[in-house]
Structure 1
């Protein structure tokens, strides 16, 4: 039986490209397209697909949040995050959100099609290129920082000043400066902004939690 697919991406060229590829793929049929989160929910309701491909950034919302709403309505829907971004933090978000697959738009066509087929047959099992390596990095990074260093990093994320961090943790400002120095050394950075960006990229902080 053919896999019914809905493609969600605001870029028409991406959807046209995917449609062109699927025209020569006998086991996958493109039954609907959407350019926004709201439109995606309507199209999925109308077409009853087995799989949806979602871009992370949509005009009216976040692709992973949209995936959550679609899954509530259709628990067995296969969901593939198909996006331009390629970093561990995003892969971890897709994994933790219960998506079926994560693949970049620059991946070979065969990889994208394999992700769609996986999502159709095992929607609750996650796959991604380089998944095992990324999980190994996540495990090692989990032990990179001490509990107190992680506390300091979280307070830095919230924009808390060093004196305020000292007050919050009930330690001296000199001690906080020592923690910050260790953080910078472990993350190989020179300032707060760099530390937060590296922490996000290494999966130590969720992307959405970093203040602009």
Structure 2
């Protein structure tokens, strides 16, 4: 078995921290190496303990959890960040996505979801995951004044659906490979996907791509 995922917990509620200790204590591949109830202590603790993942509350006694997340992401690009929130409000979910966290989990979610989020964050810090992301995107699209995807992103989506590589997409759009990669990355972000298959499936669910396309 490989080295355990090292986790720091930043949550103002003592019971939540205790509950996380109990939860993680039964998992052989995860260990808590530090905890604090204050956002101001998060950065120094990360610097000293060097965790793989930080689990932090969206609302802390002395700070905005999303602000702490943005600060940590700016300092540590490979650090996994799991944001805990009371309820699953869409606005908080999208703010979490914009702040650079790795996963968004409601405090009312099953414990298996939190464990999965920690493991995801440990290996894919830059890839956002949230159970309710696709429905939230659909709800935002219903209330938006404009389309979810720009015309260029819609082009990229269709080309991905046709099986084209990033290099081929760049050629088809007469842009550089770097620009095509940026288009694809933005598309993945909007769809809450980390790869082509996830992007196509999400687009199909949202009615943005014909269902007869093959993944």
TM-score by length of 2: 0.65
Q: Where does 1:78-89 land on structure 2 (aligned, <5 Å)?
A: 78-89=80-91
Report the CA distance between 1:119 and its aligned residue: 0.6
Aligned to 2:45: 43
How many residues of Structure 1 are paired with residues of Structure 2 in the alignment?
A: 145
Aligned to 2:58: 56
101, 104, 109: which is aligned to 1:102? 104
Moved more, 128-137 or 23-32: 128-137
Find out whether 1:115 has 2:117 as its counterpart.
yes
- Once the two structures are superposed, residues 142-195 of structure 1 have per-residue CA deviations (whole angstroms, 9 ceiling, x without a partner) of 227xxxxxxxxxxxxxxxxxxxxxxxxxxxxxxxxxxxxxxxxxxxxxxxxxxx
Distance in 2 between residues matched to 1:83 and 1:19, nearest whole Å? 18
Q: Where does 1:5-154 land on structure 2 (aligned, <5 Å)?
A: 5-143=7-145
Report the CA distance between 1:48 and its aligned residue: 0.3
Report the CA distance between 1:132 and its aligned residue: 0.9
Report the CA distance between 1:140 and its aligned residue: 2.3
Question: Structure 2 unaligned runs (5+)?
Answer: 147-215
- Once the two structures are superposed, residues 103-162 of structure 1 have per-residue CA deviations (whole angstroms, 9 ceiling, x without a partner) of 011111100000111111111111111211111112222227xxxxxxxxxxxxxxxxxx
Report the CA distance between 1:16 and its aligned residue: 0.6
Aligned to 1:151: none
Larger radius of gyration: 1
Distance in 1 between residues matched to 2:98 and 2:140, nearest whole Å? 12
Moved more, 135-144 or 119-128: 135-144
Aligned to 1:170: none
Q: Determine helix, strand or coil for the equivalent of 1:58.
A: coil
- Once the two structures are superposed, residues 2-60 of structure 1 have per-residue CA deviations (whole angstroms, 9 ceiling, x without a partner) of 11100100111110110011110011110000111111112111110010011011111
TM-score by length of 1: 0.66
Q: Determine helix, strand or coil for the equivalent of 2:31.
A: strand
Question: Structure 1 unaligned runs (5+)?
Answer: 145-212
Distance in 1 between residues matched to 2:135 and 2:85, nearest whole Å? 20
Q: Determine helix, strand or coil for the equivalent of 2:96.
A: helix
- Once the two structures are superposed, residues 58-80 of structure 1 have per-residue CA deviations (whole angstroms, 9 ceiling, x without a partner) of 11110000011111221111101
Q: Determine helix, strand or coil for the equivalent of 1:124.
A: coil
Which structure 1 residue ranges, 4+ long, deviate > 3 Å from structure 2? none
Distance in 1 between residues matched to 2:97 and 2:126, nearest whole Å? 10
Aligned to 1:210: none
Computed over aligned residues only, the root mean square deviation of the Cα atoms, in angstroms, reads 1.4
